[in-house]
Amino acid sequence: MKQRTIAKSIDIVGIGLHKGVPVKMKLEPMSSNTGIIFYRSDKGVSIPLKIENVVDTKMATVIGKDDVLISTIEHLLSAVYAYGIDNLRIVINNDEVPALDGSSAGYCMLIEEAGIKKLDQSKKALKIKQKVSIETKDGKKVSLKPSNRIIYDFSIDFKHPIIGKQKYHFDYSILEYKENISKARTFGFLHDLQYLQSVGLAKGVSLDNVIALDDNKILNPNGLRYSDEFVRHKILDAIGDMALLGYTMIGEYNAHAGSHHLNHLLTKKLFEVEANYEIIDLEEAQDEASVFELAYAKV
């Protein structure tokens, strides 16, 4: 199996979630072994997608270099990672990735419009060999453990009448991702939004790009896309955060009330011990390559 990039460059303009200003972004194909690179065209600074370049995970995953930042990268990366794109340059003229409709469905459409190109070098994957976990005192936890498949299993428990307890099991393929994960939108509570806007954030938030909730109900006129859209979006985010591993993961991700911050701690902890993982060549490892061949089928 060979590495993948997109077949042609493609442009998009959208609004950033926090600053609320137009952002121009271009996805560009790259050669083998380049990886995923962000480029701030207004600053002339390249920021490779690496764990050490993560600078903030409070409300979104933010990478930075030389005091230049790019925020809210997880939805775009979720689609890039789900489509098995190994090499890509993301050119952006501001410090936020466009929010689109609050999901990654628009980025899936963008990737499919650009097309996928197979490259000359063999694709690598990261196989989880030992369980690694992060757990907080209040019961939030995330983990990676060995599996011959690619699985994301997430549960949440919100003290809200619309959300409550939700759980979702996602067995990865591109088609399953498109249909059951990519359309799930980010969500937020009205009281949080009011605070964020009071400190100059969330200026781009609207009912077009966020599921908004007050204390009792959903404020979006058209309601939900899935009854459990909230937990599905948490999986969307987790897939984007796992893109920081630098390779597509073979293993099982589990979380209860996980977050960008816990995902970042998890990826860091994984790399602390070499026995936790193995980088495999999918030209040589046929059993593992078959996992991807099935996952990429019909796309």
Rounded to the nearest 10 degrees, what angle do helices 260-272 and 229-242 cross at? 40
> How far is it, in rounded angstroms, from Cα 130 to Cα 70?
32
Phi, psi of 231, deg, nearest 5:
-70, -30
Measured CA to CA, the distance from residue 82 to residue 158 in angstroms comes to 27
- Catalytic, out of 18, 260, 261, 264: 260
Q: Catalytic residue at 260?
A: yes
Report residue 91 as tokens: 């050119």
Axis crossing angle, helix 105-114 with helix 74-82, rounded to the nearest 10: 50
Q: Which residue has the tokens 């990366």?
A: 77
Rounded to an integer, what distance in angstroms lies between the CA atom of residue 199 and that of residue 98?
A: 21
CA angle 157, 133, 276 (to 5 degrees): 150
Supply 240's token pair: 């984007």
Quickly list H helices, 126-259. Answer: 174-180, 190-198, 229-242
* Lookup result for tokens 């991702």: 177
247-260 CB burial, b ≥16 within 10 A, e <16: bbbbbbbbbbbbbb
Q: Return the active site residues.
A: 260
